[in-house]
Copies of this chain bind each other. A is one copy, B any other.
Amino acid sequence: MEQILDFCSIDPAARIGRNVQFGSYVRVYGNVEIADDCQIGDFSVIGQPSIRKDSKPLRLGAGAKLRSHAVLYEGSDIGPGMETGHHVVIREGAMIGENLRLGNFSDIEGACRIGDFCRMHSYAHVGRGAVIGDFVWLFSLTTLMNDPLPPSHLADPVVIGDMATICVNAQLMPGARIGRGAMIASGAVARGEIPPGVVITGPEGDIAGAVRFVMHMESRTRHPWHRHFADAYPEHARARIAALGAEIDAEAAAAATSL
């Protein structure tokens, strides 16, 4: 049974699953399919109409938890278990896997693919056309660009491999291809082809080394993160983290010998 609080405005055409909870002041447009067990925060807009005429519905997977002031467009397909902070925007045409977490003020510009179990922090900006693998981290203020000659009609979006980590304030230039398990350090600029498992630093995007040599000295904790951080994910993800991690370790080692 759905629970609808004060002052909601819900189009009767919207298809709404069981046990969906709406906060106060939620606007739900008609071209929407909300699966079971979702929670929709106060002051949110669900199914914002796109300027495209033929838009598919917004499909919001089961168990989503949207915090207040969210805006989700019609025409996106979002896997189960998404959890967002406040004031997020997801535009039309975003194909999103399972269990995304999205920080406050994040901006997913749409027409993009985001894999399973990705994590994005505050003010993350995913430009149109980006392709993001599984278990990818985008920390605060990271920007994924897409126009190689701004402003132009050209589009050369970013591709990010599984388990890559993009640190605070990193910029991914148009056309950047980030290898699996790579880390773009905070404030770094990444261009072109980035090999798997490397660390990129600085405004010139230099290869500073391999992720597997990165260690926190005091605690002796070492990268890659899948060795010490799998417990931060839902239990059913952990076997996949181990298998994918081993695969990426091998890929990174092979790439290192050819550098």
Q: Which residues of A contact B (CB under 8 A)?
A: 5-7, 9, 23-25, 27, 42-43, 45, 48, 67-69, 71, 85-87, 89, 104-105, 107, 109, 119, 122-123, 125, 137, 139-141, 143, 145, 148-154, 165, 167-169, 171, 173, 186-187, 189, 202-203, 214-216, 219, 221, 223, 225, 228-229, 232
Contact = CB atoms under 8 A, between A and B. Distances in A.
Contact of A229 (B104, B152, B229): B152
B143 A169 contact: yes
A187 B168 contact: no
Nearest to A69: B69
Nearest to A188: B203
A132 B3 CA distance: 41
B219 A154 contact: yes
A123 B71 CA distance: 16
Contacts of A215: 149
